[in-house]
Structure 1
């Protein structure tokens, strides 16, 4: 156990995260969660954790900010805070889609390339046989679900060489402030299928149960349970592989209202169950 390691990939969701490109080894949006988990679990544990972020906001945010400045603020539009919230949230969700028929539409590919970059870096700093845990906030859950789906279907945007890069050592998937159901209404319920367990290299006896935990605050308008999305999701929950949980997130000014969507990162109701998942993943050991 003392020599075991885990890799953690953290991806942000929709909203204003910054328009400056971030290095693969930098921490920004997940720094608060990293700090709380490290304090809660101890330095000795975290010496065996490889933690990296998937940062993709800059791909979209510069154009959004330019539009806000040139076409709204400069022309006297009111409710600018609300307009910024709507722009950054709706534009992110609307722009992220796969459109193979249009070579000019590169957003899906560029975001998935960032995911690949982070996964490849985690393999470098841990090992190819290290269990991987994915923490995905908001739209990041939809992005990672698509990334896993494409990979398992053999149709990834970026070719992955090793089993680690192909996500075959994924031990757990944690979504929070999850809005995957929003993207499901174009299809009939019976045609909506959740991803299958990607960590196929992990022996059955060592797999986490549930392997997908979905945590949402009841006051978070953008955070939704998954089981009711379709019969496929319902079956995943009924089998115990998917666990939808309601939690209270955010500080005194957030936990009771929609601002709780961004309150998960430092809240004990989120980081404590996440710590349990990381401990359990650490117990798996090297995946051979």
Structure 2
């Protein structure tokens, strides 16, 4: 069946399973039904492979060297915050983690493009936590010819020239961000700039929970964020055990306050 929409997910930080997207995918299928969902090409991006092998090595060394209390919390802190610190370390260097992640995004976009009839099919992206910064970086670099897109660098991507608009996400219609921690990356800058809109129809909807210490509103960051972000939408994310504490950070993608408006866009 001809696909009418591309739906892309990008995970957050920490220990991430390859099938991190399953609950979201099943929730959308339930909301939309097989007929509508079959017209959507679903492409989950998994970039954690760029970090995880090294993180597990450090974790095992630490765990085996001594008895550590609060192991689950320690593991979350180690994996999550090393993701953050590693992401943009020496970003412009050839072969950096930053560029490896951008190459992974391109890899998944090329997979998606094989299933489509044209380059201008609408795209919806749902990004969580650190994934919001990851996709923001990618969009910025694609529009400004920075990062992996800088001519002459060893990591410049290979793709058929006619696919460039798709791979640069020029037909991105909606960006949904949940538990977004972009403010953690830009708070130290005097001049905070958001990505330019990739096209006039682009809408950025940012979901946050007041109890989520890793999730923030974005419009107050700067005039450019206020202009580009359509809405900051506060919800009470997660189940009864999550919604009143910082664990709410992991509850967005199963919460009806998020799933229902997302499914309306896909519809």
Q: TM-score, normalized by length of structure 1? A: 0.83
CA-CA distance at 1:129 after TM superposition: 2.5
Match of 2:180 in 1: 178
C-alpha distance 100-4 of structure 1, shift in aligned 2 (>3 A): closer
The alignment's C-alpha RMSD in Å is 1.9
1:230 matches 2:230: no
The aligned runs of 1:201-220 (5 Å cut-off) are 204=200, 207=201, 211-220=203-212
CA-CA distance at 1:73 after TM superposition: 4.2
Match of 1:5 in 2: 4
Match of 1:78 in 2: 69
| 8 Å CA contact retained: 2:99, 2:147 | no
- The CA deviation string for residues 111-142 of structure 1, in whole angstroms up to 9 with x for no partner, is 11111111111111123221111110000000
Unmatched tracts of structure 1, length 5 or more: 23-27, 280-288
The aligned runs of 1:73-112 (5 Å cut-off) are 73-97=64-88, 99=90, 102-103=93-94, 106-112=96-102
The aligned runs of 1:111-150 (5 Å cut-off) are 111-127=101-117, 128-150=119-141
Partner Cα distance (2:123, 2:23) in 1: 20
Partner Cα distance (1:142, 1:107) in 2: 14
C-alpha distance 100-244 of structure 1, shift in aligned 2 (>3 A): closer
- Higher relative contact order, chain-length normalized (CA < 8 Å, sep 6+): 1
| 8 Å CA contact retained: 1:6, 1:126 | no
| 8 Å CA contact retained: 2:91, 2:98 | no
| 8 Å CA contact retained: 1:14, 1:93 | yes
CA-CA distance at 1:3 after TM superposition: 6.3
Number of residue pairs the alignment of both structures matches: 255
Match of 1:195 in 2: 195
3-state SS of the aligned residue for 2:42?
strand
